[in-house]
Amino acid sequence: MTTPVLQVSDLTTTFWTPEGDVHAVSDVSFHIDRGETLGIVGESGSGKSQIFMSVMGLLARNGRASGSVRVTGEEILGVPLNRLNQVRGARMSMIFQDPMTSLNPYLTVRRQMTEVLMTHRGMNESAAAKAAIDMLDRVQIPEAGRRIGMYPHEFSGGMRQRVMIAMALLCGPELLIADEPTTALDVTVQAQILDLLMQLKRDTGMAIALITHDLGVIAGLADRVMVMYGGRVVEEASARDTFKRPQHPYTEGLLKSMPRLDEHGVKRLETIGGQPPNLQDLPGGCTFHPRCRYAVARCAVERPLLRQTDTGRAKACHLDHLGDVA
């Protein structure tokens, strides 16, 4: 068996606030294999982004992560910054919802891209520029040779996202972390970016962690899906199982509450009642029980552990089958 590209064990991320500690991520363990695409789904406050901010060492100053994060077997949580810098950007890189957060508005794209190659790869200026143009070509930016001299704000939203993807791919990372990469884009442009990611996944064989709140985005791209709620993993399964046979009431509720374009006839949308959890005041027992239609007395007192239910799938729920108690 090969070592996974990313192995996260017992990751807990805590933020210190004047109102008390907030556990954004609690005891999360998972792995991503080589060439695999893992979809991470959850609502706001589910901790889905903070997992990867912890992995990348990008937590806000009041945040602390504990546990273990291994990139191709090497522990990177808590290592000195210069060691971490050799890993991030080179072996794993991250793209964000808003490309402007990771592009410097005062530097040309050329300057920003060549800088990465010159520091990480030790290339000279002209070789770096050539590699950068190749990469822009690869993410299908027309006239890359001319456009590389432009500033980030001169690109449209979709093109900017492509530039950011190109920058993330410069050093040939084994893992690309994409945090809501299409959320800010129009739907036709989103389709273009999703197509691009699919193509890159096929061509490069790199692993992708795709973080999103939109189940539709994951359906086409992910091999496996991890569903987050209140800072914990509630379900983990292959994409097909997640969408066709969800085992956790939250996953089931999410799928049912989405209006679908391919469905005919108007029926009332099924809903998940209540409000998303407040991380500062999480309910006891199962975090989801106040909103769960299957909840039984046990759910309020005992927190279900993530347990294996089948080969390659797991859930954190006391029930064995949904529909046991209706």
- The stretch among 91-99, 103-111, 127-135, 186-194 that binds other proteins (CB under 8 A) is 186-194
> Out of 273, 281, 297, 311, which residue is the one contacting other proteins (CB under 8 A)?
273
CB hemisphere CA count around 154 (13 angstroms): 10
14 bridge partner residues:
23, 64
- The stretch among 7-15, 65-73, 118-126, 152-160 that binds other proteins (CB under 8 A) is 152-160
> Out of 1, 81, 266, 297, which residue is the one contacting other proteins (CB under 8 A)?
266
User: Would you give the binding string for other proteins spanning residues 41-70, x where CB under 8 A is met?
Assistant: --xx--------------------------
User: Would you give the binding string for other proteins spanning residues 227-246, x where CB under 8 A is met?
Assistant: ------------xx--xx--
What's the CA gap between 7 and 284, in Å, rounded?
29
* Minimum CB–partner distance for residue 194 and other proteins (Å): 7
Check binding of 280 to other proteins (CB under 8 A). Answer: no
64 bridge partner residues:
14
What's the CA gap between 85 and 281, in Å, rounded?
35
> Out of 12, 119, 192, 204, which residue is the one contacting other proteins (CB under 8 A)?
192
- The stretch among 1-9, 90-98, 264-272, 311-319 that binds other proteins (CB under 8 A) is 264-272
> Out of 6, 272, 292, 295, which residue is the one contacting other proteins (CB under 8 A)?
272
Nearest CA-CA partner of 42 in 211, 274, 204, 273: 211
**What values do phi and psi take at 202, rounded to 5?**
-65, -45
What's the CA gap between 300 and 283, in Å, rounded?
8
Of 156 and 308, nearer to other proteins (C-beta) is 156
Of 10 and 195, nearer to other proteins (C-beta) is 195
Alpha helix (H) ranges present in the chain?
Answer: 48-56, 81-87, 109-121, 125-138, 144-147, 157-169, 187-204, 215-221, 239-244, 249-257, 297-301
* Minimum CB–partner distance for residue 42 and other proteins (Å): 9
* Minimum CB–partner distance for residue 46 and other proteins (Å): 9
The CA radius of gyration of the chain, in Å to the nearest whole number, is 21
Contact at 8 Å (CB) between 227 and 248?
Answer: yes
> Out of 271, 284, 300, 301, which residue is the one contacting other proteins (CB under 8 A)?
271
3-class secondary structure, 93: strand
Of 65 and 295, nearer to other proteins (C-beta) is 295
Check binding of 261 to other proteins (CB under 8 A). Answer: yes
Question: What does the block give as tokens for 55?
Answer: 């992995």
Of 45 and 304, nearer to other proteins (C-beta) is 45
> Out of 29, 255, 293, 303, which residue is the one contacting other proteins (CB under 8 A)?
255
> Out of 101, 126, 275, 311, which residue is the one contacting other proteins (CB under 8 A)?
275
What's the CA gap between 180 and 200, in Å, rounded?
17
Contact at 8 Å (CB) between 274 and 257?
Answer: no
What's the CA gap between 11 and 251, in Å, rounded?
22
Of 246 and 304, nearer to other proteins (C-beta) is 246
User: DSSP letters along 134-150, please?
Assistant: HHHHHTT-TTHHHHTTS
Residue type, 188: T
**Residue that the structure tokens 């129009």 belong to:** 186
Check binding of 10 to other proteins (CB under 8 A). Answer: no
Neighbours of 56 (CB within 10 A): 19
Question: Residues 24 to 43: which contact other proteins by CB under 8 A?
Answer: 43
Of 69 and 178, nearer to other proteins (C-beta) is 178
What's the CA gap between 126 and 313, in Å, rounded?
49
Q: Residues interacting with other proteins, by CB under 8 A?
A: 18, 43-44, 156-159, 186-192, 194-195, 213-220, 222, 239-240, 243-244, 253-255, 257-262, 264, 266, 268-276, 278, 290-291
